[in-house]
Amino acid sequence: MQNPNIKSIEIAAMSDMHGALPILFCASELVCICGDIFPQNIERNIQESEKWFCETFLPWVKSLPCDFVIMIPGNHCFYLESEFQKHGRIIIPDNLQHKCVCLVDEYYIYRGLHFYGTPWVTNLPRWAFNTNDPQSIFENIPSDCDVLLTHHAPDYEKLGCSYPNTDKERNFGSVELTNAILSRPSIKYHFCGHIHTGTHGGVRLGNALSYNVSILDEQYQKSFPIAYVEIEQKMVL
C-alpha cells in the first residue's frame, strides 16, 4: 500500500538559456533555473538587461505552467549582480513573489524541502559572481540542504567538462564544490550549469544525484532537453 504521507514533487530544471527561453510542454510543480538567463548581446548592458528582465523574463516566469520557480544567477547575469551589490539580495517584484524567488547564498523551504542556491564561479575575474575563494563559498552550504542549486559544476564524472570524450575536452569543474557535496549527505539532488556540454542525465555524487541542466551547447545552440525530475518528499503535516 502506498504511504499516504509521501507525495512526489515534479521539478523541471534548466540552466544557461542565454535569452532562449524554452516552452515547457509538461507542467511541473516546481521549476529550477541555475543561471545565465540573459541574451549575450545585452548581458553587459545593465539598462537593457533590466528592461529585458522586467519585460520579457518575468512575464515568461509568470506564464510557466508551474506553482513556483526557484532560480539563481550565473556569471553572465551582470544586471542581477548589480542588484545584489545594491540590496544584498535580489528582489523579485511584489506581484511575482508568490511565483518566484532568486537566491544568492540563501535558503528557501518549499513543501518541507530545504533548497539552497549559490551562483558563484571561479577563474573568471571579468565576469559576474566570480570568487577567488570557492572554499569559503561552498563551505557555507548548510548541512541540512536537500536540494542544491549552483551555477558552477563539480569536478566529477565530467559534469564540468566541455566537449567531453573528444580531443577538445577541457575540465572546468570545481573540486571545492565536489567536496562540499560529498561532505553533506543530506543533499539528495543537485542542479548546475555553466559548462554547457558537461555530462547530462544525472550522475551519482555521494548521496546526491547531480544534474548538469544547461540547455545550450558551446555554440549557444539548443542541444539539451529540460531535465524533468520527480522527488518523493514526506508531506509536512
* Nearest-angstrom CA–CA distance, 193 and 34: 6
β strands within 39-188, DSSP E: 68-72, 100-102, 106-110, 113-118, 121-122, 130-131, 147-150, 161-162, 170-171
Q: Residue 213 in contact with residue 192, Cβ under 8 Å?
A: yes
- Domain of residue 39: give its range: 6-20+27-234
Examine residue 174 and state whether it is found in any structural domain, yes or no.
yes
Examine residue 154 and state whether it is found in any structural domain, yes or no.
yes
Residues facing 109 on adjacent strands: 114
Count of positions (residues) in the chain: 237
Q: How many domains does the chain have?
A: 1
* Nearest-angstrom CA–CA distance, 215 and 15: 6
The owner of cell 535580489 is 90
Helical (H) or strand (E) element with 133: none
pLDDT at res. 54: 97
Q: Is pLDDT above 50 for 142?
A: yes
pLDDT at res. 25: 81
Share of the chain above pLDDT 70, in %: 95
Long-range contacts of residues 221-224, Cβ cutoff 8 Å, at least 24 apart: 222/20, 222/22, 223/196, 223/197, 224/200
Examine residue 163 and state whether it is found in any structural domain, yes or no.
yes
Domain of residue 13, CATH code: 3.60.21.10
Q: Is pLDDT above 60 for 235?
A: no
pLDDT at res. 6: 58
Secondary structure class of 53 (helix, strand, coil)? helix
Examine residue 68 and state whether it is found in any structural domain, yes or no.
yes
pLDDT at res. 5: 55
pLDDT at res. 165: 85
Examine residue 1 and state whether it is found in any structural domain, yes or no.
no
| Residue of higher predicted confidence among 3 and 235 | 3
Average pLDDT, the chain: 94
Of the candidates 157, 233, 141, the residue with the CA atom closest to the CA atom of residue 201: 157
pLDDT at res. 3: 53
Q: Is pLDDT above 50 for 236?
A: no
pLDDT tens digits, one per residue of 31-75: 999 999 999 999 999 999 999 999 999 999 999 999 999 999 999
| Residue of higher predicted confidence among 2 and 116 | 116
Q: Which of 19-28, 39-48, 153-162, 220-229 has the lowest mean pLDDT?
A: 19-28
Secondary structure class of 210 (helix, strand, coil)? strand
Q: Is pLDDT above 70 for 2?
A: no
Examine residue 123 and state whether it is found in any structural domain, yes or no.
yes
- The model's confidence at residue 214, banded by pLDDT at 50, 70 and 90, is very high
* Nearest-angstrom CA–CA distance, 71 and 75: 14
Helical (H) or strand (E) element with 22: none
Q: What is the pTM of this model?
A: 0.95
pLDDT at res. 8: 87
Q: Is pLDDT above 50 for 154?
A: yes
| Residue of higher predicted confidence among 69 and 167 | 69
